[in-house]
Amino acid sequence: GNSVTQMEGPVTLSEEAFLTINCTYTATGYPSLFWYVQYPGEGLQLLLKATKADDKGSNKGFEATYRKETTSFHLEKGSVQVSDSAVYFCALSPDSSYKLIFGSGTRLLVRP
Amino acid sequence: DTGVSQNPRHKITKRGQNVTFRCDPISEHNRLYWYRQTLGQGPEFLTYFQNEAQLEKSRLLSDRFSAERPKGSFSTLEIQRTEQGDSAMYLCASSSLPPNRGEEAFFGQGTRLTVV
């Protein structure tokens, strides 16, 4: 079946540190891949996406590359800010379905 | 447009009662989705509408759950004979194309249901 596995949190970093949040997936065919973010008190919002192998999604300094050979879509940022503190969800949408399948989320806490 | 709107934001109900939630999607979006999220977990898909047609339902959507989208605009999710296990955040999302085409789904802030 289709599933997403992401690293457990919380992840605690100091401001300006490098961030990696691992995400691997299981899917048939060629799913679209997403990172959604949930800031405190707000709804889920799209952070970045990639729709085919080797695509790199990027937004607000975050990047993730669609790696079909390793079935991964790891989220990275070179220098995190306090305002990046949030819960990050990796998700996929199978090409045979209309739904999003989410990982369990990773909470990021950035300290000044 | 103010985005996806969900009402109520919070609902506390006694076990065995029926509850109904409403979702107003972004006006130009013809696709609407319901998800359920429990504490510490990612959202789980419940059902999908394209216009007024319900095209996909999860096995999570038991017989006690029913969703409608009359006239392809707002949607309602009803839970009959609520159980404590129904306590969760119920999220609505909408989009102009489905996410398997790489399209962004816009989420509402959710309705938090507590069954006591």
Query: For B65-75, what is each residue's pLDDT tens digit?
Result: 999 999 889 99
Cβ-in-10-Å burial (0-12, 13-18, 19+) of A77 comes to: buried
Task: Going residue by residue through chain A, which has 112 residues, state the pLDDT in tens, using 9 for 90 and above.
Answer: 899 999 888 999 999 999 999 999 999 889 999 999 999 889 999 999 999 999 999 999 999 999 999 999 999 999 999 999 999 999 999 988 889 999 999 999 999 9
What span, in angstroms and rounded, lies between the C-alpha atoms of B79 and B16?
Answer: 10
Count residue pairs from A and B with Cβ separation < 8 A.
72
Q: Which residues contact A28 (CB under 8 A, 6 or more apart)?
A: A2, A94, A96
Using the beta-carbon criterion (under 8 Å), do A99 and B55 form an inter-chain contact? no
Check CB contact of B5 with chain A, cutoff 8 Å: no
pLDDT band at B2 (very low <50, low <70, confident <90, very high): confident
Q: Which residues contact A22 (CB under 8 A, 6 or more apart)?
A: A6, A7, A72, A74
A67-71 LR contacts (CB < 8 Å, sep 24+):
A68/A30, A70/A24, A71/A24, A71/A25, A71/A26, A71/A27
Using the beta-carbon criterion (under 8 Å), do B56 and A4 form an inter-chain contact? no
B41-A89-A4 Cα angle (round to 5): 75
Go through chain B and tell me how many residues it has.
Answer: 116
Check CB contact of B8 with chain A, cutoff 8 Å: no
pLDDT band at B1 (very low <50, low <70, confident <90, very high): low
Looking at residue A109, its pLDDT comes to 97
Report the relative pairing of strands A11-14 and A106-111 from DSSP bridges: parallel
B31: its two tokens? 């696709």
Using the beta-carbon criterion (under 8 Å), do B33 and A4 form an inter-chain contact? no
What span, in angstroms and rounded, lies between the C-alpha atoms of B41 and B53?
Answer: 29
DSSP one-letter code for B81: S
Looking at residue B81, its pLDDT comes to 97
Q: Please give the single-letter amino acid code of residue A63.
A: E
What residues pair up with A72 in beta bridges, in sequence order?
A: A24, A67
Residue B93: pLDDT over 80:
yes
Decide: B102 and A51 in contact? Cβ < 8 Å.
yes
